[in-house]
A and B are shown apart, each in its own frame.
Chain A
Amino acid sequence: MSQTISLPELDANRPLALPLEAEQTLPNGLTVLAIRRPSVPLAEVRLRVPFAKAELADAAVLAQTLFSGTSTRSTVEIAAELQTVGGGLGAGIDPDRLQISGNSLVSGLDRLLELMAEVLDDAVYPEGEVTTEVERLADRIQVAQSQPAHLARVALLKRIYPGHPYAVQTPSVEDVRAVSPEALRALHARRLHPAGATLVIVGDIDPEQAVQTAAKRLGGWNGGGESADLPPIPPLVPGPLLLVDRPGAVQSSLRFALPAVGRTHPDHAALQLANMVFGGYFSSRWVENIREDKGYTYGPHSVIEHSVAGSTLTVSAEVATEVTAPALVETLYELGRIAALPVREEELEQARQYALGTLQLGMSTQSGLAGLASTYAGFGLRLTFLAEHSARLAAATLADVHRVAATYLAPAVAAPVILGDAEKIQAAVSAIVPVTVESKS
């Protein structure tokens, strides 16, 4: 009864359609981008403020206490006022920026922005609330330090960004405990300003009207303060595999850092495609090899990470301790293969369709669009980049992909790190590549 049916062809693709938007830079330096996506009666907001070189522990605590009170409202009152319009706001940091993210029923957008402005103008960092949040953050960091994915990332960042602010992205528990309300107020006064910041609003809105609402609520935000620029990331230095000991680990965390380029670099589209063919999506050589053929791992992935100071490609897999060396061999093999031999036409076409299709998927929700627009804005780009990038993806040739693979994906340019039980894996891994060991401090 299993009749043979052939795979249906795809219908004609619908072209990429960019949403209606409005943009205005206010006199205080804040750029407002409002984008119409009326799919549900909500609004998404993302405020991105440059925050490079802010002191790590202070910045981390500031993000946790920004909504902890103003001169007229407590933490609970701010949260309750937001909830009243179906809203919520939160802040997060990375080495490039502070971001306030939130959403509400669209009828509450004006109120949401009003409360955001109130906090930006008048956050007071009350002593008691700061103490509470300091302890919560210290506990969270302690928990993170027991998570292999976190420990592997810490080791990788330290290795690939020596001397750069990106080398350490999580503050120590001691530094967090030393943060004072005065330091937070000072950091806020110095750095939390509209110059260079971007507010993205996406939702069931009239973009022009939303820009006016934002101008009314945030136009008075103090335009003073300082900014800071990051030096470019250091060139990636390949070398021996760094083995970080985690006694008793039942899995090894395998990481490779490789060089990459920014979104607007002429090699970017081809590198994105080459990475996909290698290991950047499920139907890639590396995933089919180490998961679907060998069963060494569950969720291996390979991604280009873009930061303001530079881009890096990271390859990650959690593999059973006993197959650490064989998994390393297969990873080196797949990197070497794509660097040495051209990919096949059908592999490139499949990766290209995936890259183009997932652009459409990423734009299809309000939160997806808001995230894209805000991230792009942090790099001086607009949603029109989607159309330009689509064209470059469509134009990349087999030769382009082969050339970039040889340049950026070659094992010879990789910086490898493994976090795992050194006693069990060191001998086998050392038989494959030179190894230096970092024991657990």
Chain B
Amino acid sequence: MSTETSIQIPRTAYEVERFTLPNGLRVVLSPDRSAPVIGVAVVYDVGIRSEPQGRTGFAHLFEHLMFQGSANLEKLAHFRHVQGAGGTFNGSTHLDYTDYFETVPSNALERMLFLEADRMRGPRLTEENLKNQIDVVKEEIRVNVLNRPYGGFPWLKLPPVMFDTFPNAHDGYGSFSDLEAATVPDAAEFFDKYYACGNATLSVSGDFDSAHARMLIERHFGDVPARPAPSRADFAEPDLTAERRESYVDKLAPLPAVASAWRVPDPITDFAGYLPYVVLAEVLTDGDASRLVERLVLKDRSVTSVGGYLGFMGEPFEVRDPTALLLQSHLPPGGSVDKVLVTIDEELDRLATDGLTAGELARTQARMATHLLRETDAVLGRALRMAVLELQRGNPGLLNDLPHQIAEVTEDQVRAAAAALRPNRRASIEVVPGGNQ
């Protein structure tokens, strides 16, 4: 039993106000007047797992099209209006959702609501914009995957080893041939099906008065036509019963690397069963005092770095089932992947059998609290997390509770989680270096 409570885990008290507009749009407000800035996030319940067969990369391509103009906004206007208000913007496509967001000085609140509402009514989908953004996305893929070592490792390379169905296994950045085959009618259909206001959440955090913000939200989003959310597909797959392991040659990579994944409990329906795995990943890999860094990096020198996290895109609280705990390692020249995997098994066994050392769990939980609080210090960090927590769980206030819920995970739970990471449930992908050899 670990009973150390050497440091108090603090609690945040961000206000959370939730309401739903008559058209079905769910809204979360979290006022905080401590700095004159606001974060605005609109999140749609569609992501990489929902894109159709033959259209790999389409969710991401469509995200780009949402910036290309709408009824009252010419192409380029969105960017100019945000930046011309002193703000920053972006969007990103994830496995289970797509987000659009701005951070701006608080005097631009109404303008941001106008911009988001206008594209929620519908983007301008033209052949010219589609062609242009296909080119831009191809350059993005070249920068992030094709022209660099370890591109797409492991987030694009491991899912096809672990999963068998198209939604879970396919390349979310997309093949160039699928991207080039995308049409304007495809985009219109995708918007109609998934970009319904009943399938979205809006979250605003920072420097505003709630009643005023609510009035502005009703003004701008109130007349977005009501369209219900599509029924969400079931992406479930059975757990692995036999180990899977594959490798590929990366022509640009000078050194070997390996990543492994094990399925974990459903993050939404079994949050209590899932949290111990979130803690386990940190016990194993957070800093020089973690189990695997100490063993693999400092003692054995069999890896040069090791990282562990939940979800293929590293977002433990923004992913649905099926998902995984991942461990990834970069190896020195000539390093043995077999040896690394065997050592990880040994360390998991040791953790499961012998438990944690005095203070080990409490200090890991304290550091996790710091990480979580840092992420939510930025207004946008709060707006995004609350928007997704509302979308996936109907519980944006979980943001305030997370550090304590993590601190309540027990040693027995962490040991049980470690015991579940058996080789026969493991999927691994190995990078064989092809560069500088």
Separation of A5 and B111 alpha carbons in the complex (Å)? 11
Contact A5 B118 (CB under 8 A): yes
Contact B370 A361 (CB under 8 A): no
Contact B436 A146 (CB under 8 A): yes
With both beta carbons as reference points, the residue of chain B lying nearest to A85 in the complex is identified as: B7
Q: Which of A168-194 contact B (CB under 8 A)?
A: none
Q: Which chain B residues border A283 with CB–CB below 8 Å? A: 76, 79-80, 83-84
Contact B362 A84 (CB under 8 A): yes
Q: Which chain B residues border A250 with CB–CB below 8 Å? A: 142, 146-147
Contact B330 A298 (CB under 8 A): no
Q: Which chain B residues border A297 with CB–CB below 8 Å? A: 136, 139
Contact B305 A85 (CB under 8 A): no
As a 0/1 sequence over residues 125 to 162 of chain A, the CB contacts with chain B under 8 angstroms (1 = contact) are: 00001001001100110110111110000000000000
B10: interface (CB < 8 Å): yes
Q: Which of B127-157 contact A (CB under 8 A)?
A: 131-140, 142-143, 146-150
Contact A84 B363 (CB under 8 A): yes
A60: interface (CB < 8 Å): no
B122: interface (CB < 8 Å): yes
Q: Looking at the assembled complex, report how far the CB atom of B51 sits from the nearest CB atom of chain A, in whole angstroms.
A: 20
A11: interface (CB < 8 Å): yes
Separation of A225 and B52 alpha carbons in the complex (Å)? 65
Contact B12 A40 (CB under 8 A): yes
Quick one: which of A39, A356, A357 contacts B35, CB cutoff 8 A? A39
Contact A292 B378 (CB under 8 A): no
Known: A2-B121, A293-B132, A319-B139. A142 touches B369 (CB 8 A): no
Known: A11-B110, A108-B7, A367-B374. A357 touches B87 (CB 8 A): yes
Quick one: which of B79, B140, B298 contacts A282, CB cutoff 8 A? B79
As a 0/1 sequence over residues 73 to 111 of chain A, the CB contacts with chain B under 8 angstroms (1 = contact) are: 001111110111111100000000000000111111000
Separation of A145 and B253 alpha carbons in the complex (Å)? 10
Separation of A105 and B365 alpha carbons in the complex (Å)? 11
Q: Which chain B residues border A361 with CB–CB below 8 Å? A: 37, 86-88, 103-105
Contact A132 B111 (CB under 8 A): no
Q: Which chain B residues border A291 with CB–CB below 8 Å? A: 136
Q: Which chain B residues border A6 with CB–CB below 8 Å? A: 72
With both beta carbons as reference points, the residue of chain A lying nearest to B115 in the complex is identified as: A7
Q: Which chain B residues border A42 with CB–CB below 8 Å? A: 370, 373-374, 377
The number of residue pairs between A and B whose CB atoms lie closer than 8 Å in the complex comes to 260
B8: interface (CB < 8 Å): yes
Quick one: which of A103, A298, A349 contacts B139, CB cutoff 8 A? A298
A38: interface (CB < 8 Å): yes
Separation of A350 and B108 alpha carbons in the complex (Å)? 14
Contact B143 A8 (CB under 8 A): no
A51: interface (CB < 8 Å): no
Contact A79 B287 (CB under 8 A): yes
Quick one: which of A76, A84, A139, A282 contacts B333, CB cutoff 8 A? A139
Q: Which chain B residues border A140 with CB–CB below 8 Å? A: 304
Contact B367 A87 (CB under 8 A): yes
Contact A41 B373 (CB under 8 A): yes
Q: Looking at the assembled complex, report how far the CB atom of A348 sits from the nearest CB atom of chain B, in whole angstroms.
A: 11
Q: Which chain B residues border A251 with CB–CB below 8 Å? A: 139, 142-143, 146-147
Contact B36 A14 (CB under 8 A): yes
A67: interface (CB < 8 Å): yes
Contact A84 B7 (CB under 8 A): yes
Contact A41 B287 (CB under 8 A): no
Known: A17-B36, A79-B289, A283-B83. A292 touches B377 (CB 8 A): no
Separation of A354 and B102 alpha carbons in the complex (Å)? 13
Q: Looking at the assembled complex, report how far the CB atom of B266 sits from the nearest CB atom of chain A, in whole angstroms.
A: 29
Contact B298 A129 (CB under 8 A): yes
Q: Which chain B residues border A8 with CB–CB below 8 Å? A: 110-111, 113-114
Separation of A295 and B435 alpha carbons in the complex (Å)? 29
A408: interface (CB < 8 Å): no
Interface centre among B136, B289, B332, B333 (most CB of A within 10 A): B289
Q: Which chain B residues border A146 with CB–CB below 8 Å? A: 148-149, 252-254, 435-436
Q: Count residues on chain B whose CB falls below 8 Å from chain A CBs.
A: 95
Q: Looking at the assembled complex, report how far the CB atom of A2 sits from the nearest CB atom of chain B, in whole angstroms.
A: 4
Q: Which of A261-296 contact B (CB under 8 A)?
A: 281-283, 288, 291-296
B30: interface (CB < 8 Å): no
A318: interface (CB < 8 Å): yes
With both beta carbons as reference points, the residue of chain B lying nearest to A132 in the complex is identified as: B301
Q: Which chain B residues border A86 with CB–CB below 8 Å? A: 7, 366-367, 369-370
A431: interface (CB < 8 Å): no
With both beta carbons as reference points, the residue of chain B lying nearest to A356 in the complex is identified as: B86
A353: interface (CB < 8 Å): yes
Q: Looking at the assembled complex, report how far the CB atom of A59 sits from the nearest CB atom of chain B, in whole angstroms.
A: 20
Q: Which chain A residues border B360 with CB–CB below 8 Å? A: 80
Contact A76 B288 (CB under 8 A): yes
Separation of A251 and B89 alpha carbons in the complex (Å)? 26
With both beta carbons as reference points, the residue of chain A lying nearest to B362 in the complex is identified as: A84
A13: interface (CB < 8 Å): yes
Contact A105 B436 (CB under 8 A): no
Contact A2 B369 (CB under 8 A): no
Separation of A1 and B225 alpha carbons in the complex (Å)? 9
Separation of A8 and B75 alpha carbons in the complex (Å)? 18
Q: Which chain A residues border B89 with CB–CB below 8 Å? A: 282
With both beta carbons as reference points, the residue of chain A lying nearest to B134 in the complex is identified as: A295
Q: Which chain A residues border B132 with CB–CB below 8 Å? A: 292-295
Contact A13 B7 (CB under 8 A): no
Contact B36 A296 (CB under 8 A): no
A363: interface (CB < 8 Å): yes
Q: Which chain A residues border B377 with CB–CB below 8 Å? A: 39-40, 42, 365-367
Contact A298 B366 (CB under 8 A): no
Contact A11 B142 (CB under 8 A): no
Separation of A350 and B84 alpha carbons in the complex (Å)? 4
Q: Which chain A residues border B2 with CB–CB below 8 Å? A: none
Separation of A7 and B220 alpha carbons in the complex (Å)? 11
Separation of A429 and B220 alpha carbons in the complex (Å)? 50
B106: interface (CB < 8 Å): yes
A439: interface (CB < 8 Å): no
Separation of A320 and B135 alpha carbons in the complex (Å)? 9
Separation of A140 and B333 alpha carbons in the complex (Å)? 11
Q: Looking at the assembled complex, report how far the CB atom of A84 sits from the nearest CB atom of chain B, in whole angstroms.
A: 4
With both beta carbons as reference points, the residue of chain A lying nearest to B70 in the complex is identified as: A2
Q: Which chain A residues border B287 with CB–CB below 8 Å? A: 79, 82-83, 88
Separation of A4 and B70 alpha carbons in the complex (Å)? 11
Interface residues of A (CB under 8 A from B): 1-14, 17, 38-42, 67, 75-80, 82-88, 103-108, 129, 132, 135-136, 139-140, 142-143, 145-149, 248-251, 281-283, 288, 291-299, 318-320, 349-350, 353-358, 360-361, 363-368
The 18 sampled A-B contact pairs (Cβ below 8 Å) are A7-B114, A8-B113, A17-B36, A40-B373, A40-B376, A42-B374, A76-B288, A83-B286, A84-B7, A84-B366, A105-B366, A107-B10, A146-B149, A318-B142, A320-B139, A349-B84, A361-B104, A364-B379
Among all A-B residue pairs, the 5 with the closest Cβ atoms: A357-B86, A295-B135, A2-B71, A79-B288, A79-B289
Q: Given contacts A135-B301, A361-B103, could you give 9 more A-B pairs where the C-beta distance is less than 8 Å? A: A83-B366, A86-B369, A88-B287, A103-B374, A104-B370, A139-B304, A143-B253, A293-B132, A318-B143
Interface residues of B (CB under 8 A from A): 6-10, 12, 32, 34-37, 71-72, 75-76, 79-81, 83-89, 103-111, 113-114, 118, 121-122, 131-140, 142-143, 146-150, 207, 220, 223, 225, 251-255, 286-289, 294, 297-298, 301, 304-305, 330, 332-333, 359-360, 362-364, 366-367, 369-370, 373-374, 376-379, 435-436
